[in-house]
């Protein structure tokens, strides 16, 4: 166990080049793991799997061999055993094991959907735990790291499902005063519930356009908060270039601001989509969304020096950027960069890229469906 703790601590060191750094790119909670090894079999097995997968990823190989795959399978088996115990299943160590196993498929360049299965498991553990204020620094860091993946997976997969109060307790609580760096997450966590309300209004037998006025007003307020946060982030990005700092620190700040601004604009894109789903669409709104798409493209280009891991989030942002613009030239540029990113970060390129992008658009950015059997639109939603 001492050898594992030493190896794990070495792999998650914040002094590693940010391009390959687990600490920054997958969660600062990882620094707390070594001292907890030996207390939970699922945590131990997940730590071994993460160490093996990370070594494979850094080797540049494209297909995982026996060692990382066997470690991953062992970790899944250990987790299943722990989940049979009602007490240990909801412990912070078990939740940490699930979090680490979410990272392993990415590092092993595995097929899509595997990470979503782990996130579904994490969401169930969170539901069983209920809202418990963090008992120590480890739980605080773990919950902060978990919030982003939970929200993003909830937008893509309907099995990650929380009630309005659960979103408030588990995700939004404590984010109110964290500034522009985290504003995107606070607002993005409201989106699944906004979509649900929008769908409920359209499907109501007493539907009138007036029913959506309040929801549209809420979305407009959220959009203004996004615009304000984006302005501050742009200013910080420009001013950070003037600082004379050690290379590691300068790269960290630059990569962080590029990623945070891209996620902020992504949130704005989805909020604009809610307006469209709620029956409000205008040329200024479309132009704003397309402008944000172009800006995400520029941010992703600026993040290329931080590939593969420190710019991994840009893949998700580029998918959203493609979906929110109708400009063929911009879409082509995004598509080309997406393929380059996939090769650099995941070691593969998606076949039938346009078809995949269209499917992502319909699922992640739902809009109106067909009017064939109704005077009102059928909304392409997958939540609850």
Half-sphere exposure of residue 364: CA atoms within 13 angstroms, side-chain side: 24
**In contact, 223 and 272? CB cutoff 8 Å:** yes
Beta-bridged to residue 336, according to DSSP, are: none
The two tokens of residue 21 are: 């750094």
- Going residue by residue through the chain, which has 384 residues, state the pLDDT in tens, using 9 for 90 and above: 788 999 999 999 988 999 999 998 998 999 999 999 999 999 999 999 999 999 999 988 877 788 889 999 999 999 989 988 888 888 889 889 988 988 898 898 875 555 556 666 666 666 666 667 777 788 888 887 877 777 777 776 666 667 777 777 766 566 555 567 778 888 888 888 888 888 888 888 887 777 788 889 999 999 999 999 999 999 999 999 998 899 989 999 999 999 999 999 999 999 998 888 888 878 888 899 999 999 999 999 999 999 999 999 999 899 999 988 989 999 999 999 999 999 999 888 777 787 878 877 776 555 533 322 333 333 332 222
| Buried residues in 330-365 as b, exposed as e (16+ CB within 10 A) | bbebbeebbeebbeebbeeeeeeeeeebeebbebbb
User: Residue 362: what pLDDT?
Assistant: 72
Residue 159 is predicted with a pLDDT of 65
Q: Which residues contact 266 (CB under 8 A, 6 or more apart)?
A: 184, 188, 296, 316, 317, 320, 321
Nearest to 216 by CA among 264, 258, 276, 173: 276
What pLDDT is stored for residue 143 in this prediction?
80
């Amino acid at each position: 166990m001492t050898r594992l703790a030493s190896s794990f601590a070495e792999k998650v060191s914040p002094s590693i080049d940010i391009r390959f750094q687990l600490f920054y790119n997958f969660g600062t909670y990882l620094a707390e793991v070594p001292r907890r090894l030996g207390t939970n079999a699922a945590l131990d097995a997940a730590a071994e799997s993460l160490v093996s997968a990370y070594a494979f990823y850094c080797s540049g190989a494209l297909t995982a061999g026996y060692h990382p795959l066997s470690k991953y399978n062992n970790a899944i088996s250990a987790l299943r055993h722990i989940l049979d115990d009602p007490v240990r299943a909801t412990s912070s160590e078990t939740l940490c094991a699930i979090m680490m196993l979410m990272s392993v498929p990415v590092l092993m360049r595995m097929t899509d959907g595997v990470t979503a299965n782990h996130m579904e498991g994490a969401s169930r553990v969170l539901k069983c735990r209920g809202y418990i204020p963090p008992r120590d620094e480890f739980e605080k860091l773990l919950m902060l790291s978990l919030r982003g993946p939970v929200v993003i997976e909830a937008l893509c997969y309907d099995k990650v499902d929380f009630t309005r109060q659960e979103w408030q307790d588990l995700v939004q609580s404590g984010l109110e005063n964290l500034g522009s760096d985290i504003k995107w997450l606070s607002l993005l966590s409201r989106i699944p519930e906004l979509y649900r309300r929008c769908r409920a209004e359209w499907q109501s037998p007493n539907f009138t356009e007036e029913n959506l006025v309040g929801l549209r007003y809420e979305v407009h307020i959220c959009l203004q908060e996004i615009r304000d946060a984006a302005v501050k982030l742009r200013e910080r990005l420009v001013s950070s270039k003037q600082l004379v700092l050690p290379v590691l620190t300068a790269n960290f700040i630059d990569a962080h601001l590029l990623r945070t601004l891209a996620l902020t604009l992504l949130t704005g894109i989805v909020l604009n989509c809610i307006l469209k789903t709620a029956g409000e669409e205008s040329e200024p709104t479309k132009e704003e969304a397309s402008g944000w798409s172009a800006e995400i493209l520029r941010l992703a280009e600026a993040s290329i020096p931080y590939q593969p891991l420190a710019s991994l989030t840009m893949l998700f942002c580029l998918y959203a950027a493609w979906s929110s613009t109708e400009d063929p030239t911009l879409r082509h540029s995004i598509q080309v960069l997406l393929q380059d990113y996939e090769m650099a970060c995941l070691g593969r390129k998606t076949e039938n890229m346009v078809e995949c992008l269209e499917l992502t658009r319909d699922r992640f950015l739902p809009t109106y469906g067909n009017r064939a059997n109704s005077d009102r639109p059928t909304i392409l939603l997958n939540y609850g």
